Amino acid sequence: MQNTITRTFNSDKKKISFMDNNLNNSFYFIEKRLTKIFKEELESDNSIFRMVSTDAINKMALFLAGVKKRACAIGIAGETASGKSTIANDIIETLELFASEFSISRLITRINTDDYYYDRSDMVKAAGSFAEFAKHYDLDIPQALELSLMKKHIVSLLDGENVYLPKYDMSGTAKRENNVTLAMPSKIIISEGLFTLTDEVVDAFDFKIYVDISQNIQKERFYKRAAERGLGSSVDDVYKNASDKAKIHIYPTVCKADIILSGEAERQNYKNFIKKVLDIVKEVYLESNVRVCKIV
């Protein structure tokens, strides 16, 4: 499968009727504004988008208008070195600045997919090193993670329950501690990782995002990161395995995405687009003297 996906925009209109006229009007106003800024971004140079479905815009309008009153969950997937972590960080940073400006509490909770790798510390000790362990244990398949637990935690947070998240040691011990980090319910749950859109967990997300990138740029980023992590002579084997497994377990999940992002756009462009969405929030709720925390 080729990494690059054609940039598309489906503008079919969905009709929805609500009993509350104010809610109905807010929804249609927000959906119209969202459609405009998404379309403008798609048509711009160096767009952050490859594809956006009208279903994603419709769902976003439902949440922002307050039709959907519960929290929402966002899942971001993509192959290694695609830029998904950086994009997630930029989204979170922009939303947290907004929350701070308007004193919104518990706006966003991040779930780190990598923390759900199974504890294999005993296997590392038996192998003598993480490098030897990795020769015989594949970390680039969904079965290496306890994604069922991750889904359970996301659903619990969406149901308004506190959960204690695991913590995986990425330094090379393959050790996972359970029930380490307290996560409290928030208005937005966000998670990114290689296997975020795989069958085991994808249904937990309202918004399913895939980060697409050309192979040459992805490979360049991968080798730069590998040098920083000291992979040495094993880097070629590690890259080949990651690429081979991505074709099986990651690339196919793009069909589940309702938004496909470019992993090659300028970082500031992601932040700028989020700010445009937040400008709609401010226009609808602040300028009409309604407290913004009622919708986000």
Convert the pLDDT of each residue in 220-261 to its tens digit: 999 988 887 666 777 888 899 999 999 999 999 999 999 999
Among residues of the chain, what percentage have pLDDT more than 90? 75
**What average pLDDT does the chain have?**
89
Can you tell me the distance from the alpha carbon of 97 to that of 103, in angstroms, rounded to the nearest whole number?
10
Establish how many alpha carbons lie within 13 A of residue 254's alpha carbon, considering only the half-sphere containing its beta carbon: 22
Query: Which residues have a Cβ under 8 Å from the Cβ of 266 and sit 6 or more positions away?
Result: 46
pLDDT digits (tens, 9 = 90+) for 174-230: 999 999 999 999 999 999 999 999 999 999 999 999 999 999 999 999 998 888 766
Q: Where are the domains of the chain?
A: 37-294
Say what the pLDDT of residue 21 is: 63
pLDDT band at 79 (very low <50, low <70, confident <90, very high): very high
Say what the pLDDT of residue 288 is: 54
Helix axes 84-101, 267-281, angle to 10 degrees: 40
pLDDT band at 2 (very low <50, low <70, confident <90, very high): very low
Helix/strand/coil (H, E, C) string of 76-138?
EECCCCCCHHHHHHHHHHHHHHHHHHCCCCCCEEEEEHHHHECCCHHHHHHHCCHHHHHHHCC
- Checking if the pLDDT of 293 tops 60, the result is no
- Checking if the pLDDT of 289 tops 50, the result is no
Can you tell me the distance from the alpha carbon of 168 to that of 155, in angstroms, rounded to the nearest whole number?
21
Consecutive H or E run containing 185: none
pLDDT digits (tens, 9 = 90+) for 25-67: 889 999 999 999 999 999 999 999 999 999 999 999 999 999 9
Q: Given CATH 3.40.50.1000, say whether it is the number of domain 37-294.
A: no
Among candidate residues 189, 155, 202, the one with its CA nearest the CA of residue 63 = 189
Model pTM? Answer: 0.88
Can you tell me the distance from the alpha carbon of 146 to that of 201, in angstroms, rounded to the nearest whole number?
10
DSSP letter for 47, please: -
Can you tell me the distance from the alpha carbon of 35 to that of 72, in angstroms, rounded to the nearest whole number?
20
Say what the pLDDT of residue 130 is: 84
Say what the pLDDT of residue 294 is: 43
Can you tell me the distance from the alpha carbon of 152 to that of 68, in angstroms, rounded to the nearest whole number?
21
pLDDT digits (tens, 9 = 90+) for 154-166: 999 999 999 999 9
